[in-house]
Structure 1
Amino acid sequence: MEQRKLVVLGIPWDIDTEGLREYMSKFGELEDCIVMKERSTGRSRGFGYVTFASVDDAKEVLSSEHILGNRTLEVKVATPKEEMRAPVKKVTRIFVARIPQSVTEATFRSHFEKYGEITDLYMPKDQGSKMHRGIGFITFASADSVENLMSETHELGGSAVVVDRATPKDDDFKPIGRMPLPPPTQGGYGAYNAYISAATRYAALGAPTLYDQPGPIYGRGDPSRRTSKKIFVGRLPPEATSDDLRQYFGRFGRILDVYVPRDPKRTGHRGFGFVTFAEDGVADRVSRRSHEICGHQVR
C-alpha cells in the first residue's frame, strides 16, 4: 500500500468516522477511513486510519498542519500491525516484592522451587542492617515455570507478596542515590538493586497513587539521575491496551518496547505500564506534558 495509508492521532472525542472522512476528503479521494472505537463502550479511542487513492495526496497530508475541532492532529504513515506488535518474550525470571523480614532465603527458595528448577536466586540486602530489602529475584530453567506461577497468588511468612515477570534490560536501569551495587558474584542482578526499577518501586510500595507526587526516585528530581528512555504510565483505564500506549506515545518518538503488567488475580492489567523510547531525552520531554489515553487522564 506504499505510503497511502496514514494513521491520524489526536482526533477529538466527538469526531466519528464520517467526521474524519469529511475532513480528509478535502485532500483527495479516499479508499478507506475509520476512527477506532472501544469495543465495550463504543467511544472513540482518539485515533484512526485513512487510506488515499493517490500517494501524492497522502504526501500532501503528511506535509500539512491539521486542526480538527479544537485539536491539532498528528498524521504519520501507518505502521503494519505486525511491526507494531511487540514480540512475545519467553520470560524465565521473576521479581518478588513485599517479602516479610521473617522470610529467609531458604524459605523463599522452598516456596518457588515447586514450580520448577531454579538456576539463580537473589535477595538484595541492606548494607547497614544486613537484612533483606523486601524484594527478591528468581531465574528458572524454563519459561513454563514463570507462566504457571503467574496464574496464582502467593504468600510468604503469612503475608501476600507481589510477583511479576522481570524483563527490563540492564542498560535501562541505573543505580539511584547512594545505594551500592552488589558484587558481581551475587548473580548479576546489579541493575535491579535497591528498588531502582519503577516496576519494583510500585510492587514494593503499593498503589499507583504513590506516583501522583513523584520525587527524585521517579525521575523528576536531579536530571543527572534520570533514566531518559523509559517512562512509567499510571492510572491506565481498564480498557487501555499496550497497542493504545504504543499508538499514543509513538507520536513523540520511536518506541522500543511497551509493557503493561497483567493482574494475576483477574483478567486485565494492573493499571500501569512502561514505555521505552529509542532516543535519549524523549522520556523527559514526554513527562512534562499531560496525557489522555482512551479518554482518561493518565499519570
Structure 2
Amino acid sequence: MEDVKKRKVGEAVGNGETSSSSSSSEEEMRLLLDPLPKPQLVHLLSKLGSQYPSIAEEIRSIASADPVHRKLFVRGLAWNTTSETLCAAFQVHGEIEEGAVISDKTTGKSRGYGFITFKHMESAHNALKAPSKMIDGRLAVCNLACEGLSGASTTPDLAQRKLYIGGLSPNITSEELLKYFEKHGDIEEGSVAYDKDTNVSRGFGFVTYKTVEAAKKAIDDPNKILGGRNIIVKLADSHKGKSLQTQLPTAVVPMALPMAAGYPQPGNAHVSTTPVAYTYPQTVASYPVSSYPSPTAPAPYQAQPQISYAPVTLKKESLGLPSTPMGIGGYPYYLSKQ
C-alpha cells in the first residue's frame, strides 16, 4: 500500500499535475512545514530528493543559483598576489564570474586574502576537492565564503597539527619549506612569514599537517637542518603562549591610594575621604599615609559685659548754646532746656 502511494506521488510530481485538490494540499503542506525547524526540513527534503529525481533537480537548480554555493574564500595569499593571478590559479576548475584580492583602503596593499565566485556550483565543488593551492610561492587555502574562517581548519586537533618553524634562513621560500616538511606527511597549509611592507622573510613560518601523527614525526625528527641552519620545530600554540607571556609586565598590582586628610578651617570645615584608584603596570610598594594633626582652631573671643550709661543732661548755661535745635552738616541735634 505504501509503495502504491509513493508511485502515485512520483507520477504526480513527474507529470506536473495540478488541480484544485493539489493546490489546497500545497497550501496545507506550507502550513505544516512553516513551524518546523531547519534540521527537520533539510532531512525531509534530502530524503525526498534521494527518492524522486525531479525534486533533486529542483533543489540542485535553486542551490546553484545562490552564490553561497559558488563563492570561495581564499586565504594565505602572498602580498604581491593580484586579482589577475588569483583568478588564473582557479580558472582551471571552471568559468569564474568574479574574483578579487582584498586590499587595504588606506595603503592599497593586499590584506592576504581574496574571493572567487564561480559561474557554476560544480566548479566550486571541484576547487574544494583540493583546497590547498600554490599561488605566487605561497600555499593558499580555500573554503566556502559562507563558512568564513570557521571553515578553515577548525577541527579539535588543530592545535596538535599546526607547527611553528623558527630560525629559518632569509633565503628559504615557502615552496622550499613545504618541500622539506612534506616528507613527514600530507600538508594542509603552510608558508614562510613575510613582512607586509618589504616582503622579506621574517625568519619563521608555519606548517599545518592533515594528521596529528605527521606533526609528531616532524617534531621528533632529530635532524632539523634546513638551508644550512638548525631550525626550531614546535607546536604553534605553545610558541604563541610563550610570546604573549614575554610581552606581559612582571606584575600588575591594582592599588587604591586615599587622598590626604583635609585641614578643617574655622567656620568652613571640609574633609575629603573619597579614595582615588591608581593602576600601575609594575610592582608598587605600599606606603602608609601619615596623618598629621589638624591645626587647632583659635578659641572664640569671650563675650564682653555690656555697660549701661545714664543719659547726660546738658544745661545751656554750661555750654553757652541756645536751647533751640541746630543743624551741623545736615545732621540735627537737640539740647534740652533746663
Normalization by structure 1: what TM-score?
0.31
Q: Which has the higher helix share?
A: 2
Normalization by structure 2: what TM-score?
0.28
Bigger RCO (CA 8 Å, 6+ sep): 1
